[in-house]
Structure 1
Amino acid sequence: MHRREGSDAEVATDALLRSIVESERVGSTFSAVRDGGVLTTWQVPGRAQLGLDLGCVGADPAGDAYWGELHLLGEGIHAAGGLDALDEANMHIVQMDPQHSDWRAMVLESVWFDIGRRS
């Protein structure tokens, strides 16, 4: 069976997600996911819709920078191959770190939710 190689964008996304997990500087932007909170979307970096916890989101420049970089990587994947490529990359990137796969799935779903789907 042939193992699927990751694209440059997938490898970069994997490295960025690993940095986020290891970073102590990233605060509120990713805390809901890291703490197992219910995260739906980030329409604006650092403005997570957290249900009852919505008021706890504050300024997080480091998290916003990570969010922006993840979004740009997703847009690049979409530009190269459309929604199918984005969905496939999402699944592949989640599987690149099984220990954090649930967290990765929530982060990528949240950051990439609107790419290629805007009206």
Structure 2
Amino acid sequence: MPRDPRAYLWDVREAVADIQGFVAGLDLSAYVASGLVHSAVERKFEIIGEALNQLAKLDPVLAERVPRLPEIVAFRNQLIHGYAAIAHERVWATIQTALPTLAETVQALLTELGEE
């Protein structure tokens, strides 16, 4: 039985909230200095990318409504396969600029679909 598409959106929403909690009160230098924090953040970005990748396979029409989905999946792939070349500044910039928009989009989609 296929997974409910909302489940992937729930996973994204939870991972976004976790990232925001992990970095609350930090600046870039504190983020970079904490191996624990940036490892946890990267793992949550991997979950976000994989959840959206699976959503795109299950419900491409719904997935198309997530802005920059291919870039998010590519970012996930870079984190997993190119882990040795991760620029903490890029991850930090993504947290600051792209994560709020993703959070808003996912919440809007869940509200529209009925969260249950």
TM-score (norm 2): 0.41
Q: Which has the higher helix share?
A: 2
Query: Which of structures 1 and 2 has the larger relative contact order (alpha carbons within 8 angstroms, sep 6+)?
Result: 2
TM-score (norm 1): 0.40
